[in-house]
Structure 1
Amino acid sequence: MTDTIYAAATAAGRAAVAVVRVSGPRARAAVRALAGKVPRPRVAGLRTLQSDSGPIDQALVLWFPGPGSYTGEDSAEFHVHGGPAVVSALLEALAALGLRLAEPGEFTRRAFENGKLDLAQAEGVADLIEAETEAQRRQALAQVGGALGRAHLRWRADLIEASANFEAAVDFPDEEVPAEVADRARPHLQRLIGELHLALADVDRGERIRDGFRIALVGAPNAGKSTLLNGLAGREAAIVTATPGTTRDVIEVPMRLAGYKVLLADTAGLRDTHDEIEAEGVRRARAWASSADLRIWLVDGSSSAIDPPPEELTAGDLCVINKSDLPPGDDTGRALLEARALELEMHRISARDATHVGVILAALTDQVVQRLAGDELPTATRLRHKDLLAEALARLEHALVVEGSPELAAEDVRLAGRSLDRITGRIDPEDVLDRVFATFCIGK
């Protein structure tokens, strides 16, 4: 990392203040060239920035000598007025000094490569930047604080103990090593397997907190799905007409419930159709409902011919009998019986009534809190974490099966350790690192 990089750390556009960051071996020379004098470390100094073309701006300049900086390298920050012309002039001046514009995530990647952050913490930085809700913020902050790294240290301690016992049995079979030495690895393996099972069970919760809890409205055409969506969203997000099949595609509406991000989706009415476009809408509706975390089966309570429950429903989903302001249809009782058989939470409402919509909103909030809240935030929060935890768990469970052959068990424990090390980036191929840091914005 011989290049010195620079980038705007604040968003483009007009603002009161913009921040431009510099990191690398020529950072001090860049500060001296533009500001004339390098401020004391971590103390802001007011300087007039000058380029070959003349004054740029009066700015606050901060100097962070390595390794006591975010990246672990010599770094600086220029806090200038946030007009686009000011920022552009400063960036041009830095380029004229021979510095290179940073790639997305390059500052954080340098922090990782210089040992200031592990890979899980770096991912937490990206999540913190993207956080929209209180729950996302808290989860990302725990990640940046090293929650997963601390768990990894606990897991690694058990791995070392188990590995040492198996290696002793393999490497010193004729020495004075107790015959049951390999058996001593079992408690460590069992404890570690239990912890990994718990971590794996929590990954989905972590993903939902970060990406959003998905709720699908499903049911027959004209059951009132779009009306309910608009009521829950508090705006006209979907077109409502009396014509069946108006909704052809999935309409997603982001919401916040109890501090959690939620994606509420209105889907095409489920029915057999020869219309090619509507049939594609039905296919997409079923696919979205299948992958959703919660489904609301909306039933037209005034209809005399109610379709069977959608096959995507599972226990804990909601059955909402709509149009309670109209005379009940002959088939409503059958729909209620089928909902009870599926163990669905049942409500009878009119989607046109704000009070009734409030009842459904409260029910959804309860569901989200029940499924996402916990005494502790999840430590593993990404699909990458999930795959590596599952890989390590499979190796350790196999080690228990073959513990009578300590050389095989030792290899399983070693491979499990490699999988866990890849979570924090101790061992990770370059393409994985490229993929992780490519998700960052420039300047971070």
Structure 2
Amino acid sequence: MTSTDTIFAVSSGSPPAAIAVIRVSGAAAADAIEALCGKRPAPRRASLARLHDANGALLDEALVLWFPGPATATGEDLAEFHCHGGRAVLAAVERALAALPGLRAAEPGEFTRRAFANGRIDLAEAEGLADLLSAETELQRSAAISNASGALSRTADDWRERLLGLSAQVEAALDFSDEEDAEGLPECFTWNIADLAGEIQEWLDRPRSERLGEGFRVVLAGPPNSGKSTLFNALVESEAAITSPIAGTTRDVIERSVAIGGVPFTFVDTAGLRDIGSDEIEGIGIERAHGQIGRADCVLWLGEEGQGPEGAWEIATRSDTVDFMAKTAARHTLSAITGKGLAGLKEDLVMHARENLPKPGEVALNARQHARLGEAVEALGTVRGLDDLLLVGEELRRARLAFDRLVGRATTEDMLDALFGRFCIGK
């Protein structure tokens, strides 16, 4: 595989479909159009054409678009065939393209990787695009599209320009340090360093994008037969957990991810908590339940009032039964069987999750981006404790390198392989 190959792939959804789009990118894109259509259409205008293979057999009648590079999505010559979306049609067109010299099928993410390599997008935008393609909820979509549209990249570029200005002040002070009337760094230098570090720290303090991927984690906890599995099934709207009057029915952790009100959640049903399990397997389940409580963003406590983990929500369940035990400080009283009170619990969870997840339209940093900005803040923090201008300049260079690595000006092939391998073929 080389970057000089011309690549092609179906970039629309899986067939069959009404219309399917086959993209071609590379130096031989124009040759591919002429080979299948007999002529090259006007740039950036949809043209109706009959597609033929090398033997002259009719393949399909399609809309054809021609985009000369470098002002294209990939930065290369680009062609699109908008064909009928049947499997046989697509297979025939792909066979015809594969038979042309210099063309080959694209690898996963190769179109986007070429866009990055040709400077059409940077690394942060590519990561946002990958998150956008995998988004399943409104919050995930909103955060991903902000990153894909370059919000983080523009902010990082602004930080980098300010850092360059600070580095220039250090260089100027070094150039004139031997002169008797040299004044050194201006008084505002330290303030500007602190302001820049403070702005970056605000981004670091935001909820991370991984929270959006996994969802707000809600653990249902309590003793055996407290109604955890019944409530769990009601929240995820499926019979995921077995319910039974027999104590210890749930012996392991059960997880389900759902979206409520556009917010991603992961609900976790756990084994009933008691001092001694009926057997070794139940004991393992109880141990795992304690582990899940430690990982939870929110714990719904269905047991005796005041006996749950610190910060847990007191939930009084089974309000429809004759032996119902009310809680004086219940956050919610409900019946998972009749549904009474369930809507209020869901609404409360959505509001609580929104307060603790990235805000709509706000860029959420992933682990890699968080680490790079952390390196920049660390370097800027070191600067404030230094008197040696050479060391100050080196720490500013280290912070600048962190910004370059953030947007992909300095990166490794292994990291790029891992990122673009997340994309589907055709993107």
1:237 CA displacement:
2.4
Note the C-alpha offset of 1:21.
Answer: 0.8
Matches within 5 A, 1:160-175: 160-175=164-179
Describe the SS at the equivalent of 1:401. coil
How far has the Cα of 1:24 moved from its partner? Answer: 0.5
The residue that corresponds to 2:17 in the other structure is 15
Q: Does 1:405 align with 2:385?
A: no
Change (3 A) 1:410 1:364: same
Deviates further, 92-101 or 291-300: 291-300
Change (3 A) 1:203 1:408: farther
Aligned pairs, number: 421
Moved more, 43-52 or 178-187: 178-187
Q: Answer yes or no: is the 8 Å Cα contact 1:161–1:185 preserved in 2.
A: no
The equivalent of 1:441 in structure 2 is 424
The match for 1:358 among 343, 355, 359 is 343
Amino acid at match of 1:173: S
- Give the deviation of 1:178 after TM superposition: 4.1
Distance 1:12 1:140 in 2: 23
Identify if the C-alpha distance between structure 1 residues 426 and 278 changes in structure 2 by more than 3 Å, giving closer, same or farther.
Answer: same
Q: 1:75 aligns with which of 66, 75, 78?
A: 78
CA apart distance, 1:381: 2.4
Which of residues 311, 316, 323 in structure 2 aligns to 1:321?
316
Matched letter for residue 314 of structure 2: C
CA distance in 2, matches of 1:91, 1:250: 46
Deviation larger for 108-117 or 120-129: 120-129
Partner letter of residue 416 of structure 1? A
CA RMSD of aligned residues (A): 2.2
CA positional deviation for 1:203: 4.2
Return the letter of the residue paired with 1:131.
A
Distance in structure 2 (CA, Å) of the matches to 1:214 and 1:258: 15
How do residues 28-107 of structure 1 correspond to structure 2 at under 5 angstroms?
A: 28-53=30-55, 54-98=57-101, 99-107=103-111
Kept after mapping to 2: 8 A contact 1:43/1:63: yes
Report the CA distance between 1:32 and its aligned residue: 0.7
Provide the C-alpha distance between the structure 2 equivalents of 1:119 and 1:352, rounded to a whole number of angstroms: 49
Amino acid in the other structure paired with 1:218: A
The structure 2 residue matched to 1:236, chosen from 232, 236, 239, is: 239
> 2: CA distance between counterparts of 1:7 and 1:74?
15
What is the aligned partner in structure 1 of residue 5 from structure 2? 3
Among all aligned residue pairs of Structure 1 and Structure 2, give the percentage whose two residues are the same amino acid: 43
CA drift at 1:236: 2.0
**Alignment partner, residue 373 of structure 2:** 389
Cα distance, 1:389 vs structure 2? 1.3
Alignment of 1:131-210 (within 5 A): 131-175=135-179, 178-181=182-185, 183-204=187-208, 206-210=209-213
Amino acid paired to 1:123:
E
Contact 2:110–2:420 at 8 Å: present in 1 too?
A: yes
Q: For residue 285 of structure 2, what is the aligned residue in structure 1?
A: 281
Q: What is the deviation of 1:432?
A: 1.3
Match of 2:256 in 1: 253
Unaligned runs of 5+ in 2: none
CA distance in 2, matches of 1:274, 1:428: 54
Pick one of 197, 213, 225 that aligns with 1:222: 225
Equivalents in 1 of 2:13, 2:292: separation in Å? Answer: 34
User: What runs of 5+ residues in structure 1 fail to find an aligned partner?
Assistant: none
Cα gap change, 1:35/1:286 in structure 2, threshold over 3 Å: closer, same or farther? farther
Q: Which amino acid aligns with 2:315?
A: V
For residue 235 of structure 1, report the CA deviation from its aligned partner.
2.7
Q: How far is 1:280 from its partner?
A: 3.2
Letter in 2 for 1:355: K
TM-score by length of structure 1 reads 0.89
Distance 1:380 1:409, change over 3 A: farther
